[in-house]
């Protein structure tokens, strides 16, 4: 797999292609590589920006101009690649000197949130999340980012991760643009972590609504049970995304990484505080969901006991007339046999016996 990542790309169709086994002069080889590079750059779905001395000087330029912008020591470049193929990302890696293991991670989705450090850059993996308020299902969108001293390259597998809110965060904090890549990384993480916090808050609201249904006599207990398991599943998925972000932001704050300067430290600490709050919130919600599941089972057991007591009480009351009518239904002479007062006596015994049992059961709150 790694060999395939760094294999030489096939050139685009054109007149008189050069055979792969033919010897070419250095000038001709360089010209062929330039043709391939321009063709791949044009086919890539990308967005770009260039800041110079904290001022946005260019955007939406071709990827082929990244190197020209980086020739200025005061320039900082952002490149966003959506659904790149191996050759496109290979060319960007060649321009910026990215490690092939980091490129491999960017091409293969499903990475855990992390920050991998290499000699010349770092690779960041994170997830933006969205919680459906109706179904309680969680949708996660993965994004990878290459952090170099003067460039940030974000890689998205599809358009489920909307990059426009990140641009809005950058545009709302233009006074921090002079801090270069740290400013870009902060805007990206600020958007991602705020999404985590919003998802946790929405999940908390749904769990509170579910709590209110636990003690409603007319509520559908099956629906409560189903929603409890759905929210518990969502919470597990959310914790897998939120918890590792604590280590990611903490690693960015380390001085030996030389990414965050002193002026940007308070802003990253603010993001770290949001990460901690979201993490602690998910821990408390996990205990709360478990309590809801246990409470729901307990409530169902209590309701079953109440129903059993009521049924038993009415069965005991009904047993009184059954026993008396059965006694007076014997085919042998008994006191009051063939007399009116015998019928009256049986009726009185039924009413008195049933009434006494009813009063006793009511006092014990069985009815």
Q: Is 75 left (phi over 0), alpha (psi -120 to 50) or beta?
A: beta
Domain 2-18+33-300 has CATH 3.30.460.20: yes
CA dist., res. 102 & res. 117, Å (int): 9
CA dist., res. 323 & res. 333, Å (int): 17
pLDDT of residue 218: 61
Tens digit of each residue's pLDDT (9 = 90 or more) over 70-95: 888 899 999 999 888 788 788 888 87
pLDDT of residue 45: 57
C-alpha 53, offset from chain centre = 37
CA dist., res. 286 & res. 239, Å (int): 9
The answer to whether the CB of 287 falls within 8 A of the CB of 207 is no
pLDDT of residue 324: 77
pLDDT of residue 186: 94
**145: burial class by Cβ within 10 Å (0-12, 13-18, 19+)?**
buried
CA 56 vs CA 17, 147, 165, 182, 289: distances in Å: 40, 19, 17, 15, 47
The answer to whether the CB of 183 falls within 8 A of the CB of 109 is no
Q: Cα torsion at 265, 270, 271, 272 (round to 10°)?
A: 80
Domain extents in the chain? 2-18+33-300, 308-363
In a 3-state reduction of DSSP, which class is residue 146? strand
pLDDT of residue 27: 33
Q: Which residue has the tokens 């990215």?
A: 98
pLDDT of residue 87: 80
Beta strand 55-59 with 75-82 is unpaired
Nearest one of 76, 105, 109, 75 to 93, comparing CA atoms: 105
pLDDT of residue 320: 81
Q: If DSSP states are collapsed to H, E and C, what string results for 13-37?
A: CCCCCCCCCCCCCHHHHHHHHHHHH
H or E segment and range at residue 254:
none
The answer to whether the CB of 102 falls within 8 A of the CB of 89 is no
State which residues of the chain have pLDDT below 50: 1-43
Full-model pTM: 0.71
Q: Which residue has the tokens 């009413």?
A: 351
CA dist., res. 298 & res. 201, Å (int): 27
């Amino acid at each position: 797999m790694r060999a395939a990542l760094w294999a030489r790309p096939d050139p685009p169709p054109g007149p008189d292609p050069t055979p792969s086994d033919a010897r070419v002069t250095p000038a001709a080889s360089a010209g062929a590589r330039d043709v391939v590079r321009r063709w791949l750059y044009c086919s890539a779905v990308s967005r770009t920006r260039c800041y110079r001395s904290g001022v946005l000087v260019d955007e939406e330029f071709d990827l082929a101009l990244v190197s020209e912008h980086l020739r200025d020591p005061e320039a900082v470049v952002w490149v966003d690649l959506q659904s790149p193929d191996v050759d496109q990302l290979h060319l960007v890696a060649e321009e910026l000197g990215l490690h092939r293991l980091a490129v491999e991670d960017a091409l293969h989705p499903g990475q855990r949130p992390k920050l991998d450090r290499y000699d010349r850059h770092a690779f960041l993996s994170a997830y933006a999340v969205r919680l459906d308020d109706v179904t309680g299902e969680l949708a996660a969108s993965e994004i990878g980012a290459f952090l170099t001293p003067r460039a940030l390259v974000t890689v998205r597998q599809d358009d489920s991760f909307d990059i426009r809110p990140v641009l809005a965060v950058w545009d709302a904090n233009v006074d921090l643009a002079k801090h270069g890549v740290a400013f870009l990384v902060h805007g990206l993480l600020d958007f991602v972590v705020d999404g985590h916090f919003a998802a946790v808050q929405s999940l908390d609201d749904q769990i509170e609504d579910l709590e209110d249904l636990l003690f409603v006599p007319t509520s559908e207990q099956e629906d409560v049970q189903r929603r409890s398991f759905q929210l518990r599943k969502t919470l597990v998925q959310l914790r897998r995304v939120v918890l590792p972000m604590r280590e990611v932001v903490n690693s960015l704050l380390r001085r030996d990484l030389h990414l965050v300067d002193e002026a940007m430290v308070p802003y990253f600490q603010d993001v770290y505080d949001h990460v901690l709050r979201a993490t602690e919130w998910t821990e408390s919600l996990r205990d709360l969901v478990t309590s809801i599941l246990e409470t729901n089972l307990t409530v169902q057991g209590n309701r079953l006991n109440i129903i059993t007591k009521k049924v038993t009480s009415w069965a005991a009351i009904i047993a009184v007339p059954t026993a008396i009518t059965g006694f007076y239904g014997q085919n042998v002479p008994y006191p009051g046999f063939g007399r009116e007062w015998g019928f009256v006596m049986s009726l009185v015994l039924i009413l008195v016996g049933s009434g006494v049992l009813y009063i006793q059961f009511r006092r014990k709150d069985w009815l």
